[in-house]
Amino acid sequence: MRMVDDGHVYDLEQLGTEDKHRLTFIKRSGGAVSYDQEWPGLQTQEVLRALIDRTLYLHDILPCAETLDAVYHMRMALYNYELRAWRRKTVDVNRKDGEHDDEPNLNAHRTMDQDCPFPVEHIETFPIGADGHIMFCMGCNNIIDDQWCWCGDSIVHGPMELGHTPVPIGCTCGYANNDVGDGYE
């Protein structure tokens, strides 16, 4: 592995060829840092989702305790990234703010006493929003999928008089139907 742009671009060695594979992470300015040049790219969470899937695939071919340990640790890494994003959203701190307060819940992720709306198990399978993070309702704090209605059918299906609403599957409070906007993060 060779770093091309600190924290953002890496050239990775490939097996069976001398060619490198370029891994590019998103580069965007925020409250903590300002860049002269920005670009689209991957988030670490998306790479972890792919690595978890790849590792489970390999485990299906040749089961191994160490492979399952690797899956566990990758899921914990993904869980911590998503927990950080969820916590920042719930206290209105985002990348545009330069600081956020870790002190009140510094170890809550280790003891799982943070009322987090998602578990570690199968974290890589939860619906992802436009910001690259797990989607949840800001009202009831449940994981949601904005592509599916609460009845299990596509969100763009049947008329409202038949009981269909724009409330996505997972939401139990109907937050999307109140006056504060769509309410989903």
Give per-residue pLDDT as tens, 104-139.
Answer: 555 555 555 556 777 888 889 888 888 888 887 777
- Split at pLDDT 50, 70, 90, the class of 178 is very low
For residue 134, what are its two tokens? 């797990």
d(CA 54, CA 124): 12
**Which range has the worst mean pLDDT, 84-88, 141-145, 172-176?**
172-176
- Split at pLDDT 50, 70, 90, the class of 45 is very high
Percent of the chain with pLDDT over 90: 40
What's the full length of the chain, in residues?
185
For residue 111, what are its two tokens? 């003891």
With 0.75 as the threshold, say if the pTM is over it.
Answer: yes
Whether the predicted pLDDT of 183 surpasses 70: no
Predicted confidence at residue 133, as pLDDT, reads: 87
- Split at pLDDT 50, 70, 90, the class of 155 is low
Q: Which of 124, 133, 90 is nearest to 108 (CA)?
A: 90
